[in-house]
Structure 1
Amino acid sequence: MALHMAVEVVRDSTDSLTSQIQEFIKREISEGILHPGTRLPSSRRLAGDLDVSRSVVVEAYGQLVAEGYLEAAQGAGTRVVGHLEDKPVVPALLDEGQVPQVRWDLRPGGSNVPDFPRREWLRCYQQALHVAELSHHDYPPLAGEPALRRELTSYLGRLRGVRTTPEHIMVVGGFAQALGLLCPVLRRLGIDALAIEDPGHPGQRQFVRESGLRAVPVPVDDEGIDVDALAASGARAVLVTPAHQFPTGVTLSAQRREALARWAEDVDGWVIEDDYDGGLWYERGVRPLALQRTMPDRVVYAGTASKSLSPGLRLGWIAAPEPMLDLLLRARARHDLGTEHLTQLAFAELLSTGLFDRHLRRLNSLARSRRQALDEAVRRHLPGATVLGPGAGLHAYVQLPRRADEGALVAGALRRSVLVRGAAAFHARPRGDAPALVVGHAHLPRSGVTEAVRALGAVRRW
């Protein structure tokens, strides 16, 4: 195999060529540039590329093997060893950087998506390829494929009660892109601060700050965001998750919805509604409709396929009133050339055929089963703890007794091969509420949910 590798050597250095090759490879490994398991060029190939004697490379490789940096096997070549130790993991940052291999990963996020409809998606993608015209191989419309915008209008109106038309929808690369477009638009409107829920998504707080806006945390209670605190903050824009607050799971009450609408009118403000798991609702009774329907002229509604299909598709949508949508399209035109055609056409087909609804019913049934297993396991193994919020989404908020040590529980769970996040990382301000865990449960088998919570119970101290 004719592999190549960039190696820097200085011929007039006082260090020998062998020593330079050794030190270069060791440095590349220690800095994470050469990864465990990476195959290196043969000694003959590297010697030829560097124009040095083969014995120089053979000696360098041999010393690195002896020191434990490389491994050589007959017929398999020379590789970076595959068992280099990872950097230590801080429990509060368990979804940043390297994480250990564990048996049960309870973190919410991309890996918590339990099922992708492979057969249905393949069928719809093949249909998209079949009907694609020559124009579908050109740059896509900036606002998105008309077919998908029509289907999203029908779907969002039917399932979430969103008041919109195809002309007021833009297809985006997930909520991250939506927020990335909204932040500079808000600045152009003279808004320098964005209120965010506390607790809330820590990544969004950082994203907002890095986009040039002040992130103003506003407390959340069992009715959702505290609108009186929002009014006192001085902010004129707010990011909310009203249907299933992240991470607590509470639903914004009717009284708070009315208060939020009054606030938006009073301050001439904007509400960004992140309906991140809007199609995933398995609580008995009526599901909450979109906040957008009560004040369509003040709300930018954003949804995504990340929880219902896959975050890897990078597929989301915005419904916004015309003046705001025009500003968003102008902002996008400066940085982006639209969302890929065929994925949009395939998703439009998934919606139009009813296959997406069928997938959601299956996904909700699966998530309900896992949530029931979580409720039962918490009652049995974590006495005094409570699972908050309705049956919805792919995660749950497990409130612990006030005397519980959240950090010690997270660390003890890790020693028992369970990766779970404490609620502390989701708070922007000092906490006054009880300790808690944020548990992603939908991707695990029922037995896995039970075993993971049993391990938590084994290390609890209350």
Structure 2
Amino acid sequence: RPAPRPVHNLLQGQPDAAAFPRTAWLASARRALTAAPHEAFGPGDPRGRPELRRALADYLARARGVRTDPGRIVVCSGFAHALRLLSGTRLLRPRMAVESYGLAFHRSLLSSAGIRTIPLPLDADGALTEGLTALDGLRAALLTPAHQFPTGGPLHPERRAAAVAWARESGGLVLEDDYDGEFRYDRRPVGAVQGLDPERVLYLGSVSKSLSPALRLGWMVLPDQLVDRVLAAKGEREGWTGVIDQLTLADFIESGGYDGHVRRMRQRYRRRRDQLVATLAERAPHVRVSGIAAGLHAVLELPPSTERSALRAAAWQGLALDGLGGYRHPDATAPHPDGLVVGYATPPEHSFAGALDALCRALPPDQTDQTDQIDRTEQTAT
């Protein structure tokens, strides 16, 4: 029989849709439309609206340590769009290093552009960027330094420096995917690698996690020498992102609405993370939770050879969630740990406790307890 349709959504990468700041966004839209010059409603500039690029330059410098100016920012519709544009410039061919765990969609996008992806091993300190120098024909490296996706650890400072040193010595590029860098809970935010060398590191971000993926707004912070090449790949007119959304986001940032929203959501997601950790500690203490210092998801480390059965059990409990194995690069050689990637941001507030209850019912039992029980049974029989 087919499993029941999902009741609870624990898929990663999705913010709480009910928390979108509708009232504040509408107020920003009204102000932005009132103040917009007439030329804003003509053909779109492929760079993006100057109001948004100015607001982003100030915000990214203040919040993420990015070194830039409005002339080096190109607005796009999100990270995937940025990858497509960069692939169209031939800057990334023929080989590009990626982390051994990441989104298969991004790898397939690069592959369709004729770019072969080479996996970099991972450990608790992030990607082993020291190995970049040993890879021949490498043009670029794609990293998630603030919060490795999906395993969760930040890139160690020495490995950040190693990636930048490789780019300088080889003439390569580092693509920094800062997909949820604003949501850090247990320590001060980890700054952007781009601040170490703005001429060798391309900084890529969006509002998909902070506001909503429905807005289709992202940005690229580029080295000076790459701006014209990316604009040539994009075309003479903006065909992806709407001017009204750009103007609204610019006002939302400059009015302080964006900072306030991020602060509120950081508190909400931290409470959910704490609730997830506490529930697992009580009902499944044998399951270790990792990657919880930041972001909108956690990784539950499972006993060996239990990931598939846990996913089947989760489906029968009405849960939508992913296994860790689905993010593994097909050419990765390191042992594959079993685990679940649990997005704790998406469920509505009223159903989050129910989602955690279903999750606990789907988890495999403690194999140590089972072994002890078998041993006791055998001793009794003897």
* TM-score relative to the length of structure 2: 0.89
Q: Distance in 2 between matches of 1:114 and 1:232?
A: 47
Residue 34 of structure 2 corresponds to residue 130 of structure 1: yes
Residue matched to 1:248: 151
Aligned position for 1:64: none
What SS class does the counterpart of residue 215 from structure 1 fall into? strand
Question: How far apart, CA to CA, are the structure 2 residues paired with 1:443 and 1:397?
Answer: 15
- How far apart are residue 253 of structure 1 and its match? 0.5
CA distance in 2, matches of 1:205, 1:143: 26
Query: By how many angstroms is 1:431 displaced?
Result: 4.9
Q: 2:356 aligns with which of 426, 450, 458?
A: 450
Aligned to 1:377: 279
2:106 equivalent in structure 1 = 204
Kindly report which structure 2 residues correspond to 1:141-180, keeping only aligned pairs within 5 A, or say none.
141-180=45-84
Distance across 2 between alignment mates of 1:265 and 1:247: 28
Q: SS at 2:121's partner residue?
A: strand
Do structure 1's residue 440 and structure 2's residue 343 form an aligned pair? yes
- Partner Cα distance (1:449, 1:387) in 2: 17
Map of 1:239 onto structure 2: 142
Correspondence for 1:419: 320
Conservation of the 8 A alpha-carbon contact between 1:113 and 1:307: no
Matched, 1:292 2:194: yes
User: Which of the pair has more CA radius of gyration?
Assistant: 1
SS where residue 177 of structure 2 aligns? Answer: strand
TM normalised by structure 1 equals 0.74
Deviation at 1:232, TM superposition (A): 2.5
Question: Could you say if the C-alpha distance between residues 207 and 197 of structure 1 is closer, same or farther in structure 2, counting changes exceeding 3 Å?
Answer: same
CA change 1:153–1:336 in 2 (3 A) is closer
Cα separation, 1, equivalents of 2:300 and 2:319: 15
**RMSD, aligned α-carbons:** 2.0
Distance 2:37 2:271 in 1: 43
Runs of 4+ with deviation above 4 angstroms: 111-114
Deviations 1:255-276 (A, max 9, x none): 1111111111121100000101
> 214, 218, 225: which one pairs with 2:116?
214
- CA 1:338–1:419: 2 relative to 1, 3 Å: closer
Which sits farther off after the overlay, 136-145 or 244-253? 136-145
Kept after mapping to 1: 8 A contact 2:14/2:343: no
Relative distance call for 1:232 and 1:435 in structure 2 (3 A) is same
Identical amino acids, percent of aligned pairs: 37
Q: Is the 8 A contact 1:282 1:364 kept in 2?
A: yes
Question: CA-to-partner distance for each residue in 1:377-435, whole Å, 9 max, x for gaps?
Answer: 2222323222212431111122223x351101111111111222110100013551421
5+ residue gaps, structure 2: 368-382
Query: 1:62: which partner in 2?
Result: none
Choose between structure 1 and 2 for higher RCO, CA contacts under 8 A separated by at least 6 residues: 2
Cα drift, residue 129 of structure 1: 2.0
Following superposition, the deviation at residue 304 of structure 1 comes to 0.4
Tell me: CA distance 1:128–1:360, structure 2 relative to 1, closer, same or farther (3 Å): same
For 2:135, the aligned partner's letter is S
Distance 2:354 2:197 in 1: 43
Q: Does 1:407 align with 2:308?
A: yes
Number of corresponding residues: 361
Instruction: Give the 5 Å matches for 1:260-339.
Output: 260-283=163-186, 285-333=187-235, 336-337=238-239, 339=241
Residues 289-339 of structure 1: CA distance to partner in whole angstroms, max 9, x if unpaired?
000000111011011000001101100011111111111011111785463
The one-letter code sitting in structure 1 at the alignment partner of 2:96 is L
Q: SS of the counterpart of 1:163?
A: coil
Q: What is the CA–CA distance in structure 1 between the aligned matches of 2:17 and 2:324, rounded to whole Å?
A: 20
Change (3 A) 1:122 1:332: same
Q: 1:431 to 1:437 in 2, by over 3 A?
A: farther
The residue aligned with 1:194 is 96
* SS of structure 2 residue aligned to 1:236: strand
Unaligned runs of 5+ in 1: 1-84, 90-99
